[in-house]
Amino acid sequence: MCTTRTKCCCNQMHSDKQYKDPYTLAQKDLKNLYDEIKQQLAVSSDLKEICDYYFDGKGKAFRPMIVVLMAKACNLHHSNSRELLKSQHSVGMIVEMIHTASLVHDDVIDGSDTRRGKITVNKIWGERKAILAGDFVLSTASVALARLGNNSVVSIFTQAIEDLVRGEFMQLGSKENENERFVHYLEKTFKKTASLIANSCKAVSILGNCGPDVQEIAYQYGRNIGIAFQLVDDVLDFTSSANQLGKPTAADLKLGLATGPVLFACQQFPELHALIMRRFSLDGDVDRAWQYVQQSDGVQQTCYLAHQYCQEAIRQISMLHSSPERDALIRLTEIVLTRNK
């Protein structure tokens, strides 16, 4: 129901023009991405085996794809050239390494068994090696970042990494007040997911020598589509099968997390408040919360909120000069809203 509704809205917004597929447009620049990352991570022993396991080339490369498209869109806007700079290409590699390192650590924290349809590193090699592997990938990304030789970009990524950690801590807590709880949820969503995307977009605009106005457009596009992406992810935990997601459904509830659909459902079913505060820790709490969400319009409300963030992303990116990459970034908002995994 949610997918149909948001898809319809997107079609109405984009009916006057056929936008290019973002993945197809970025494919040439990303075809060797995972091989290049594995070269950066070239070591012997178990570390290499773990790194090769995660960087197997089967990921969506969602973040590097946005980075490449944003870099080219900014370059054309600033200097009328769509050529991707080497430093901008490196940012795509760096963002994927930071993101993957955070996933490895998340899986340890959550005790996850599967990720992207595969058994997690912590289940195969154990938690200690998983943590060290995540640290190694993050440190390698930091070395690549230092090689760029741009202090502003280094500072931006430092902020993004700090946000990742703070977002994880925020996820461990909750707020008593209903309004504060939703603000807390959106801020956590920004820090854990959107900050890395937003700051990566800003980084490539800086490397392309764009002015502050274009840097802000790049940042705001990344921020808004990043939040929308996570909101849809939170919806899929209630609407998709485990086979589609590559991870068990209701995973967030089982971890004690109250995401958008639950927070909206709580407005209709105040009984959810007690369950949220005890993080669904009693027997039957997860099933009860699930039922409340299904009986409410929490999923639809979260979809609508994601749609609003995508509209703002479109408004921001539309300020850049027309280009295939800019139009693909507009098309990407529809893909984010209508994905099922």
**Residue 303 backbone phi and psi in degrees, to 5:** -60, -45
Question: Residue range 132-143: average pLDDT?
Answer: 95
Q: Would you say residue 8 has pLDDT above 60?
A: no
Contact 167, 195 (CB under 8 A): yes
Residue 13 has pLDDT above 80, yes or no: no
Record the pTM.
Answer: 0.91
E strand or H helix at 118? strand 118-119
Cα(285)–Cα(280) distance, integer angstroms: 5
pLDDT of residue 162: 97
Band of pLDDT at residue 210, cut at 50, 70 and 90? very high
Q: pLDDT tens across 309-329, in order? A: 999 999 999 999 999 999 999
Tens of pLDDT, residues 269-286: 999 999 999 999 999 999
pLDDT tens-place string over residues 102-134: 999 999 998 999 887 889 999 999 999 999 999
Q: What is the pLDDT of residue 2?
A: 42
Helix runs in the chain, H state only:
2-14, 22-30, 33-40, 45-54, 62-79, 86-110, 121-125, 127-147, 151-171, 178-189, 195-207, 212-239, 242-245, 251-254, 260-268, 272-277, 285-295, 298-317, 324-338
In tens, the pLDDT along 69-85 reads: 999 999 999 998 999 99
Question: Is residue 14 scored above 80 in pLDDT?
Answer: no
> If we measure between CA atoms, which residue out of 308, 323, 312 comes closest to residue 68?
323
Checking if the pLDDT of 1 tops 70, the result is: no
CA 159 to chain centre: 16
